[in-house]
Amino acid sequence: MDFPLDRERLSRTFITLCEIDSPARSEGKLAQHILSYFKNFSALEFFEDDSTFSTGSDTGNIIIRFPGTKPERDPVFFNCHLDVISPCIGVKVNRDDSDTFFSTGETVLGADDKAGIAILIEVLLTTLENNLDYAPVELLFTTCEEIGLLGAKAFSPSSLKAYYGYALDSTGIDNVITGAPAANYIIAEIHGQASHAGLNPNNGISAIQLASKAISRLPLGQLDDQSTANIGLISGGTATNIIPDFVKLKGEIRSHSVAKLHRHIDHFKSIFSDTINSWHDPGYRLDSHPAFSFQSPEQYPLMSLPDDSDVLQLARLAGHNLSRSLHFGKAGGGSDANFFNHKGLPTAILGIGMDHVHSNSEQIKLSDMQRTAELILSIITI
C-alpha cells in the first residue's frame, strides 16, 4: 500500500506544536491549535471533558472523533498528552541536515509528546484528504501527564466509543509496550526535638540523623527482577546552629508485581519504624522521644496486556502489512496508558523515536516520526 504522507507538512506541524508553550495546567492554547487543523472537515465531533475540576488545567481532556468509512471495524483511539515537562517556555526548534530536531535554547524540545501529536495530525489529514477508507478513530489528548498523569486519572472511559487504543509516548521505534509497573509514592516524616546545637546539644534529637540512619538501611535501586525503589527528595532543618526537629523524605517504589510492590512498601515502613523506635541517646536530657509518619499513596496502577489482546493483534497485523517486525516488551516507567488499562481500556504504548527525553538534549528524527505515522495509518486502514 502506498502511504502519501507529507513529510514536510509533518515537519512544519511538529515545529509549530513545539513552539507553543504548554506546561502542565496551561495546555489550552495548544488544544485550540490542534482543533484548528480539522476545522475545514465536516462530520467530525469535538469533545472536552470536565477534568479541569480535578487537574486545575485551563482545558479538559480533548477528544476529536472521526466517523471512519469502515463501519465493520471496531473504533480505535490514539492518545498523546498535551503538557511538556519543564523547562518548556519559549522553545525554539532547530532542524539539522540529517532531519533531526532539537531545541536551540535552554529548554526541552517537547517531542515528548508533541511528536506523537504531530504524527496523529498528519495521519488523519492524509486519510481525509486522500479519501482513504479507515476505521472509526478517536484522538484523545490528555492534560497534566508530566505532573502525575492527572488528566488520564480523571478521564472517564464513557467519553470514548472505542474500547481499545494506543498511546504514542515512548522511546525507540517499532516498539510496542505491553506492560508497565505499578508505582506508589513513599512519604516519610520524622519528628525529633529542636535545640540550640552549641548551647544545649543534649536537649535535641536530630531528625536528619535519624533519617540518614533509616535511609542507609533502605534497599534502593534494583530490588528484584520486577521492582525498583528510590528516595528522591529530602527537606528539613532551619539553621546550622539548630538541631533539626523535622525531616520529610519522598520517594517511590515501582514493580511489575503488585504483590511484590506491597511487600517492599511494608519493608520500607518497618525500617523507619525500627529506626525511630530503637533510638537511644544516653546523653539526652529531656523526656520526649522521636516519632514518624509513613504514607504510600498510589502513583499509578499496573499495566499488563495479555499477548492475545485485540490491541496487540491489530498492531501485529499492521506491522505485517508493512513488512515490519515490531518489538513487544515491558517498560520501566508509567504513562497515561496505566490508567487507561486500569479503567478497562486496553491500551498499548507505541515508541515514536524520541530520544534523551526530559532533558535539554531531547531530539527526534523526522524519518522516525514518518515511520510511526506509517504504522498508525496501517492500523486504521487495514
Task: Please indicate whether residue 72 is annotated as part of the active site.
Answer: no
Q: Between the CA of residue 109 and those of 61, 89, 94, 100, 141, what are the distances in Å? A: 22, 10, 9, 11, 19
Give me the catalytic one of 49, 112, 122, 145: 145
Give me the catalytic one of 83, 122, 146, 374: 83
Task: Please indicate whether residue 129 is annotated as part of the active site.
Answer: no
Grid cell at residue 326: 515490531
The DSSP symbol for 333 reads S
86, 359 in Cβ contact below 8 A? no
Ramachandran area for residue 347 (φ above 0: left; ψ -120 to 50: alpha; else beta)? beta
255, 299 in Cβ contact below 8 A? no
CA-based diameter of the chain, in Å?
A: 83
151 CA to centre of own chain:
11
Which amino acid is located at 221 in the chain? G
305, 178 in Cβ contact below 8 A? yes
* Nearest by Cα to 314 from 164, 110, 103, 212: 164
Those residues whose C-beta lies under 8 Å from the C-beta of residue 191, and which sit 6 or more positions away, are 207, 245, 246, 290, 291, 292
d(CA 170, CA 222): 21
Query: Residue ranges of the alpha helices (H) in the chain?
Result: 7-18, 28-36, 52-55, 111-129, 150-154, 207-217, 258-277, 310-321, 336-342, 366-381
d(CA 193, CA 124): 63
Q: Which residues are part of the catalytic machinery?
A: 83, 145
